[in-house]
């Protein structure tokens, strides 16, 4: 909101002869800059998905830019912004709660059906896994560092992370990742390739992660254990 407000003060340069400019080439630096700022503000407002009265918006921009009297005082405008932010926050919380409920229900249904598939094993914690290829090397402990190739997807097939796509494996301490990984990778031996189906409580839970991993998301990982290292010696 603050960025939009700052830009809004500048966009009035574009309000002069708007109709004429729409039919003419933008020739002067002032015209081109004015139009550019208008595009920036319009795009920023569109991204925020706010219902606006464009006539009133332009009226307020013009009055503020020209130092004229506005329909709202500064105090009234500040109160309205605060009220809007509160409404938006409440709306986001409701939507997130709804998303969490849907994700949990869909995840539980997926795991229940998946558990009946041939080749699927289920641990006491609820972690599910499928052996794609067994290895012959060492198995890690929770304190070890491991080097893996992996791909992570949602249950709808959306890929949210992939070391294969980055072109290099990942190395990390096994006790510093989600519980589903800490438990699951310990079941593997070097050279093995498993598929893990991770319930939300063994992944990112109600918090989710920025991006496609919403609250209560069940995750699927294809993991290839390349190397097991000593956690202390590789710090």
Per-residue pLDDT tens over the stretch 196-230:
999 999 999 999 998 899 999 999 999 999 999 86
The helix or strand, by DSSP H or E, that contains position 172, with its residue range, turns out to be: strand 170-173
What mean pLDDT value characterizes the chain?
88
Given a cut of 80, is residue 22 above it in pLDDT?
no
Tokens, residue 57? 């918006």
Per-residue pLDDT tens digits for 117-153: 999 999 999 999 999 999 999 999 999 999 999 999 9
What 75-82 contacts at long range (C-beta under 8 Å, 24+ apart), as own/partner pairs, is 81/1
Q: How far apart are CA 55 and CA 76, in angstroms?
A: 20
Q: What is the DSSP letter of 59?
A: H
pLDDT at 232 over 90: no
pTM of the entire structure?
0.71
Active site residues: 150, 160-161, 178, 204, 221
Residue 15 has pLDDT above 50, yes or no: no
Count CA atoms within 13 Å of residue 170 on its CB side: 16
């Amino acid at each position: 909101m603050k960025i939009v407000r700052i830009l809004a003060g500048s966009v009035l340069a574009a309000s002069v002869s708007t109709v004429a400019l729409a039919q003419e080439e933008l020739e002067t630096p002032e015209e081109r800059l004015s139009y550019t700022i208008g595009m920036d503000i319009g795009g920023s407002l569109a991204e925020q998905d706010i219902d606006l009265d464009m006539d009133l918006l332009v009226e307020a921009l013009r009055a503020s830019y020209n130092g004229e009297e506005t329909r709202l005082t500064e105090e009234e405008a500040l109160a309205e912004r605060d009220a809007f932010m509160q409404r938006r926050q409440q709306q986001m919380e409701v939507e997130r709660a709804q998303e969490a409920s849907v994700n949990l229900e869909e995840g539980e249904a997926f795991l229940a059906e998946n558990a009946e598939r041939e080749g699927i094993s289920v641990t006491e914690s609820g972690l599910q896994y499928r052996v794609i290829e067994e290895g012959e090397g060492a198995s890690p402990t929770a304190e070890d560092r491991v080097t893996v190739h992996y791909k992570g997807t949602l249950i709808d097939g959306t890929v949210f992370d992939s070391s294969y796509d980055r072109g290099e494996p990942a190395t990390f301490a096994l006790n510093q990742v989600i519980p589903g990984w800490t438990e699951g990778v310990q079941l593997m031996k070097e050279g093995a390739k498993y598929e893990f189906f991770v319930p939300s409580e063994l992944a990112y839970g109600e918090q989710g992660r920025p991006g496609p991993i919403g609250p209560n998301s069940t995750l699927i990982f294809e993991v290839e254990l390349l190397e097991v290292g000593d956690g202390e010696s590789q710090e």
